[in-house]
Structure 1
């Protein structure tokens, strides 16, 4: 029987065999008088088709059998005279019913077998996925039978523990870990069995032939099997190595940051300060933890609100942060700093953290203030001189003009600062082309010139001194004493 089933399932000639058998039964039925129960002979063929577990073959065999039963009724010789037609019809109807039932049972068997096959495939795939996940995560399994006091290891657990055996006593299992952890582990496993509370520990294996390996041990009481403790071993050495590398990198970064003259700080992606260098702490006279907790209190009161607002804007917009403000020093004075920060992005374009620095610019600030004071004094002196003077930038735009030059060249009521020389010196009926040409030529040549020009509305020539530089050109107009504008 098993050979017949395998033949029907695997042999390509099974369909041909069934077709020949159907034809043979139909031929025998057509040559035999009505009344002989040939219809019953089709039923075994339907059963054989069902054993093939091929739904199409089963349905085709059953359909052909039904057609053949009634085709034989019409082509077979008539029944004997004393044989009732009712019995002939009943016989063939019962045969049809048997075929339909056999087809239904066969179809249900095929459905059940397909369901079992699908479940088997799913279970196999699940096992493969679980094995792959265990390999990737470094997970292995073990279980403890409290009645036998024996620990059973799977192949992966035995390999992780460096053992050639897969069955150990509880004492032997505890000795696989570092000596100081063994007795405590045994006690905790026994307590887990009694209290049914899950256990999770990180331990180092005791391996004399190699470096110790960190593992995570998890254990829980099996609710379906009293006295059985199931557990997992996971190799987490890679996580420890990675954490150690990160600690080394962080320590190196902090040492580098502490050695720099600028004050270094970092912040989380959402703008929360999480680190300041020792340079920062030494400058402020406060410990780093206090600065991280409330860095804003170190700023000058007048600048706290605008600085915080600008920082929040940069964090929200993910743009570089640059601003000047005063920071409280250890001696109680506020010192100007230029503070900058850049967002550090990952491959997805998200901010991982902010890296910032604060540089003392108090000396530069004092120098800039001194320069501004000198410039203001110079402009005041030039404004009070009796000679006309004005300054132009690289675009030949007025950056300074004293009152005498305004009276001499343009309408004093019309502002000249910020306007080009051609705009200011363009006045209907007055020709300043000689002056503008001289200025343009001198700036292009970058050489000092002194020339004499007669300006519009002037009786006598004026001495024009041109002093070009990389930032523009300065012009001094000197008129003879006692001579000025006509009229």
Structure 2
């Protein structure tokens, strides 16, 4: 039956069939004496029109049937002798009321079906979007059963953990999926989560043979005390972890390169805050690099600080290249002139991302030459 209804909805000629039946009923009515209940024969057409799930067709059949019912009064042969015309009218009015009730009911059914179809379509779209998001972010679900103290992995979560040969684990078995330094911490977090509903978020490498690493992120959400299962997710962060490692290696190589140069190398963020100085400046001033990053201005001659900062703030705001000479205190207490330059590095949106700078000590001869040239 459902297959036949589906074919009726998909068939474009179904409306023409209903129109033809409508005309056949009217033709039969026009050849029959008044008093016979031909108007009620239009009711099955309304039901048939509703099966197509086409609201416009249902409206057309309903209004056409009402019109044809009363048109039949004019074209049909007269009622049999002694049959009151009041009964004819009552018959037609009853047919119209019947059709109206069927029409309202079928229209409500179509509206309900459309709403349900829309909800199903929305749910399917949300499901597809969630699957796509899970695929892109590599998220998967796991649950912790508070009665059995066991963890159950979804098929997606099982696929993210390369050494998960089954879907259900005890707390100790689950923590054993990860490398030794993390096992005790994970088991403790799971125990606290089970007893106190304490959420957690931890990144850890899976236990694998060989040198390959697979990092995942395990997250547990807070649950109501009455719930029998607690929810969590596992995420594959191996790519992000590898990027972080490469970034750390790049930063380490930059630091080694900067420390090997005979001149001062420094960097600052987009707001002009110094965040790195090389060992050359530390050796020159006798101050550790960590202290120089925090209080580098203290190593500048007091008479040069105001002009230096005004020029630096101007460059940070405008992006102009930084170029200035000022005196830096050496470890023996004497001040040496330095030529300091910096340029802004921009991101893909054209905004300043960071500053790359250098400082070079000036000899007395070069300083006199520069002063004479400026004058």
- Indicate whether the TM-score tops 0.5: yes
User: Which position in structure 2 is the counterpart of 1:333?
Assistant: 334
Q: Residue deviations 1:7-48, cap 9 Å, x none? A: 432333322221222122111111111111111110111011
User: Which position in structure 2 is the counterpart of 1:351?
Assistant: 352
User: Which position in structure 1 is the counterpart of 2:90?
Assistant: 90
5+ residue gaps, structure 2, are none
User: Which position in structure 1 is the counterpart of 2:67?
Assistant: 67
User: Which position in structure 2 is the counterpart of 1:186?
Assistant: 187
Kindly state the Cα deviation for residue 164 of structure 1 after the two structures are TM-superposed.
4.4
Kindly state the Cα deviation for residue 276 of structure 1 after the two structures are TM-superposed.
1.0
2:53 counterpart of 1:53? yes
User: Which position in structure 1 is the counterpart of 2:204?
Assistant: 203
Distance 1:209 1:324, change over 3 A: closer
User: Which position in structure 2 is the counterpart of 1:255?
Assistant: 256
Distance 1:118 1:146, change over 3 A: same
2:7 counterpart of 1:42? no
Kindly state the Cα deviation for residue 150 of structure 1 after the two structures are TM-superposed.
3.5
Kindly state the Cα deviation for residue 323 of structure 1 after the two structures are TM-superposed.
0.8
TM-score (norm. length: structure 1)? 0.72
Q: Residue deviations 1:216-236, cap 9 Å, x none? A: 101125449722021100111
TM-score (norm. length: structure 2)? 0.93
2:270 touches 2:354 (CA, 8 Å); kept in 1?
yes
Q: Please give the alpha-carbon distance, in whole angstroms, between the structure 2 residues aligned to 1:362 and 1:321.
A: 21
SS of structure 2 residue aligned to 1:168: strand
Q: Please give the alpha-carbon distance, in whole angstroms, between the structure 2 residues aligned to 1:180 and 1:365.
A: 58
SS of structure 2 residue aligned to 1:206: coil
User: Which position in structure 2 is the counterpart of 1:303?
Assistant: 304
CA RMSD, Structure 1 to Structure 2 (Å)? 2.2
User: Which position in structure 2 is the counterpart of 1:244?
Assistant: 245
Kindly state the Cα deviation for residue 249 of structure 1 after the two structures are TM-superposed.
1.2
Q: Please give the alpha-carbon distance, in whole angstroms, between the structure 2 residues aligned to 1:264 and 1:361.
A: 15
User: Which position in structure 2 is the counterpart of 1:291?
Assistant: 292
1:8 touches 1:49 (CA, 8 Å); kept in 2?
no
Kindly state the Cα deviation for residue 340 of structure 1 after the two structures are TM-superposed.
0.7
Q: Residue deviations 1:233-266, cap 9 Å, x none? A: 0111222211111111111111111111111111
Q: Please give the alpha-carbon distance, in whole angstroms, between the structure 2 residues aligned to 1:335 and 1:70.
A: 111
Q: Please give the alpha-carbon distance, in whole angstroms, between the structure 1 residues aligned to 2:182 and 2:326.
A: 55
Aligned residue-pair number: 372
Matches within 5 A, 1:12-31: 12-31=12-31
Q: Please give the alpha-carbon distance, in whole angstroms, between the structure 2 residues aligned to 1:92 and 1:370.
A: 113
Distance 1:17 1:200, change over 3 A: same
Q: Please give the alpha-carbon distance, in whole angstroms, between the structure 2 residues aligned to 1:62 and 1:114.
A: 20
SS of structure 2 residue aligned to 1:207: coil
Distance 1:3 1:355, change over 3 A: closer
Matches within 5 A, 1:437-448: none
Which structure exhibits the higher relative contact order, with contacts defined as CA atoms closer than 8 Å and separated by 6 or more residues?
2
Q: Please give the alpha-carbon distance, in whole angstroms, between the structure 2 residues aligned to 1:183 and 1:368.
A: 67
Q: Which moved more, 1:114-123 or 1:154-163?
A: 154-163
User: Which position in structure 1 is the counterpart of 2:77?
Assistant: 77
Distance 1:96 1:370, change over 3 A: closer
Distance 1:224 1:72, change over 3 A: farther
Q: Please give the alpha-carbon distance, in whole angstroms, between the structure 2 residues aligned to 1:155 and 1:25.
A: 60
User: Which position in structure 2 is the counterpart of 1:280?
Assistant: 281
- Bigger helix fraction: 2
